[in-house]
C-alpha cells in the first residue's frame, strides 16, 4: 500500500473498513466523490469533532481582527490538496487510480492552532525536522468477489523526535485517535451508500 511507501515506521496506527455491495469501479467513484462537508452534516459526531477542532483557529482569527476563511460549499478527497499547506491543505502523496489514494500532513497537531510545515510530496518520507509529526491517510478499494468491494482506510502518524512524541501521545490519548477513526468511518460509510445506490440503479 502507498501508506507503507510513505510512512513505513510509525508511532500510532488505526484502520477502518466496510464492505459495499458494488463493484470496484462503482466503489472507487463513490469514494472519490464523497463530500466531506456532507459527512459532517450526516454524521453528527464527525460534525461536532470538526467544529471543536476549528474553535481555537476561529478564536485566533477573531483576536487578531481577521476574518476566518470561508468554509467551501463542498470538499472531496481530490480537492483536499488544493488549499495551501499553511491553511491545513493536505499533501497529495500518491494515487493508484481506481485503487488507492494517499494524503499526508506535517504539523504540530497538538497545538490549539496547528503549526503546519511546508513539505512537498517528494520531501515527506525523509522529513525529519525536530518537533513535528507526520500523518498519512490511505484510502483504498479492493475486490472481494464479483459485486462486493472492501473500502478501507489506514491512518498512521510518526513523530520526528522524543519531544514531539510525548506531545503527540497526549494528544492521541485525549481524542485524536477516536476523532480520526470517526471521520474516516463516516467517509467510508457514505461512500458505501453511494456505491450501492449506483449499483442498484445500474441497468
Secondary structure of the chain in the HEC alphabet? Answer: CHHHHHCCCCCEEEEEEEEECCCHHHHHHHHHHCCHHHHHHHCHHHHHHHHHHHHHHHHHHHHCCCCCCCCCCCCCHHHCCCCCHHHCCCEEEEEECCCEEEEEEEEECCCCCCEECCCCHHHHCCCCCCCCEEEEEEEEEEEEECCEEEEEEEEEEEECCHHHHHHHHHHHHHHHHHHHHHHHHHHHHHHHHHHHHHHHHCC
**pLDDT value for 5:** 94
Go through 122-136 and write b for each residue having 16 or more CB atoms within 10 A of its CB, e for each that does not.
Answer: eebbeeeeeebbbbb
Q: Which three cell numbers stand for residue 84?
A: 495551501
**pLDDT value for 29:** 96
Residue 201 predicted with pLDDT over 70: yes
- Name the pLDDT band for 55 (thresholds 50, 70, 90): very low
On the CB side of 138, CA atoms within 13 Å amount to 22
**pLDDT value for 39:** 80
- Name the pLDDT band for 49 (thresholds 50, 70, 90): very low
* Average pLDDT of the residues of the chain: 82
- Name the pLDDT band for 7 (thresholds 50, 70, 90): very high
List, for residues 81-99, the tens digit of each pLDDT value: 887 776 667 899 999 999 9
**pLDDT value for 114:** 81
Check: pTM over 0.75? Answer yes or no: yes
Please state the length of the chain.
203
List, for residues 135-185, the tens digit of each pLDDT value: 999 999 999 999 999 999 999 999 999 999 999 988 887 766 667 788 888
Q: Which three cell numbers stand for residue 140?
A: 483504498
**pLDDT value for 176:** 61
- Name the pLDDT band for 9 (thresholds 50, 70, 90): very high
Residue 191 predicted with pLDDT over 70: yes
Distance, C-alpha 8 to centroid of its chain: 18
**pLDDT value for 203:** 66
Amino acid at each position: 500500500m502507498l501508506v507503507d511507501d510513505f510512512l513505513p515506521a510509525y508511532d500510532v496506527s488505526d484502520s477502518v473498513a466496510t464492505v459495499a455491495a458494488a463493484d470496484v469501479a462503482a466503489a472507487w467513484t463513490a469514494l472519490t466523490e464523497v463530500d466531506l462537508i456532507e459527512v459532517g452534516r450526516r454524521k453528527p459526531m464527525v460534525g461536532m469533532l470538526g467544529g471543536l477542532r476549528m474553535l481555537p483557529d476561529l478564536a485566533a482569527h477573531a483576536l487578531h481582527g481577521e476574518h476566518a476563511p470561508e468554509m467551501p460549499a463542498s470538499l472531496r478527497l481530490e480537492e483536499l490538496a488544493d488549499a495551501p499547506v499553511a491553511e491545513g491543505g493536505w499533501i497529495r502523496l500518491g494515487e493508484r487510480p481506481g485503487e488507492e489514494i494517499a494524503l499526508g500532513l506535517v504539523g504540530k497537531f497538538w497545538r490549539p492552532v496547528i503549526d503546519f510545515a511546508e513539505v512537498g510530496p517528494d520531501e515527506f518520507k525523509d522529513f525529519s525536522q525536530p518537533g513535528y509529526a507526520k500523518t498519512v491517510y490511505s484510502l483504498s478499494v479492493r475486490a472481494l468477489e464479483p459485486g462486493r468491494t472492501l473500502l478501507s482506510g489506514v491512518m498512521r502518524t510518526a513523530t520526528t523526535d522524543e519531544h514531539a512524541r510525548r506531545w503527540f501521545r497526549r494528544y492521541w490519548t485525549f481524542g485524536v485517535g477516536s476523532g480520526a477513526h470517526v471521520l474516516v468511518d463516516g467517509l467510508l460509510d457514505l461512500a458505501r451508500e453511494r456505491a450501492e445506490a449506483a449499483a442498484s440503479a445500474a441497468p
